[in-house]
Amino acid sequence: MTKTAAATEVQTEETALAPKTLRVVVVTSDVPFVEGGHRVIAKEITRALERQGHLAELVTTPQNRFGRQFSAYVANRFTDVGETGGGEPVDRVISLRYPSFAVRHPRHVCWLNHRMREYYDLWPAFKRKLSGKGVVKESVRRFLIHRADRYFLTRNVTKLYAQSKTIAERLKTFGDIDSEVLYPPPPERPYRTDGYENFVFAVSRLHPLKRVDLLVKAMKHVKSQELRAVIAGTGEEEESLKELAAELGVSHRIDFVGRVSDEALVDYYARCRGVFFAPFMEDYGFVTLEAFRSKKPVLTCMDSGGPAELVSVGRSGYVLIPEPFQIANQLDEWAANKDLAVRMGANGEADTRAVRWDACLEVLLS
């Protein structure tokens, strides 16, 4: 064999072994002016793909306001994700939530965040708010949405992953749909640990389902006068939470800091004693993993869904009943024993270290 032929053979083998650069479209449905967790995940997937050398594009499709869901499903169904603008074929599609999983592609992976919860696990509470006529109308819509979702998630996607056990259980309960659990890593930020100052940190959209009011009520019963609470985020409950703090006489111990920058967010994580995150049946929630990346323990509740899956009781935090007295007692534990918070935070970081973007992409692109 000549040197030229040998070199050509080696080059051919190296090319065959080299990872292929893929064109990947990440699709999520959205509504204006709401920065949901799915949008953050979509951006992070896109960045992670680009870091691995793939060509990635984030496409946002309509979700539409309540009552106009069917037009959104139709719009997603006819969204063209098969080719790039230059006519090159798209190799993979990764969708995240309803109704983005209605887009068509022969290699379509759905990494489900959630379906329309008012028609699934939140239906009983939603139904109680409706008139008799409204129940009939929404029941019909619910039936049709269930049928559409089941079709798209079982026959339209190549592979279905759930972002938490909570989501996987909902899929099984509502539709008997099988899925595999794949936890998303937190956003790529320069997490660090600067100390364990005397404040508990909460960050969330201030919405009733996030139950930030539990922390406000708990502060009334916290015995340690040194422990404060810092609440970051905005939303429809912001003013009512401030009013609640005033009524309970704890306004001087709670700082409502509003929407914060990424730098400020990392700083609060780095300095706090621990993190409070106790939403109601959260799909997943980045907050838990962000806290653990900062080596901070997490206090959540038994009915909090995704966060309760990630917190190891007594090892990396607390999983409690959603009751202010119980929460206050554990906050006092952190206030009185900084070493306990340090140990729990280190355990949380160690327990979730394997949840990485490169590992997730290996699964999603396989």
Q: How far apart are alpha carbons 163 and 134 in whole angstroms? A: 32
What's the pLDDT tens digit per position in 219-254?
A: 999 999 999 999 999 999 999 999 999 999 999 999
pLDDT of residue 355: 94
Is the whole model's pTM more than 0.85, yes or no?
A: yes
What average pLDDT does the structure give for the chain? 92
286: pLDDT strictly greater than 60: yes
> How high is the pLDDT of residue 11?
47
Residue 20: band (very low, low, confident or very high) from pLDDT cuts 50, 70, 90: confident
Distance between CA 255 and CA 240 in Å, rounded?
14
Report pLDDT digits (tens) over 114-133: 899 999 999 999 999 999 99
CATH 3.40.50.2000 domain range(s) in the chain: 20-182, 199-351
pLDDT band of residue 15 (cuts 50, 70, 90) is very low
Residue type, 67: G
- At 2 the pLDDT is 52
Per CATH, the number for 20-182 is 3.40.50.2000
Question: What region does 249 belong to: left with phi over 0, alpha with psi -120 to 50, or beta?
Answer: left
Tell me the average pLDDT across 105-119.
95
Confidence class for position 14, pLDDT limits 50, 70, 90: very low
Domain 199-351: give its CATH superfamily.
Answer: Glycogen Phosphorylase B; (3.40.50.2000)
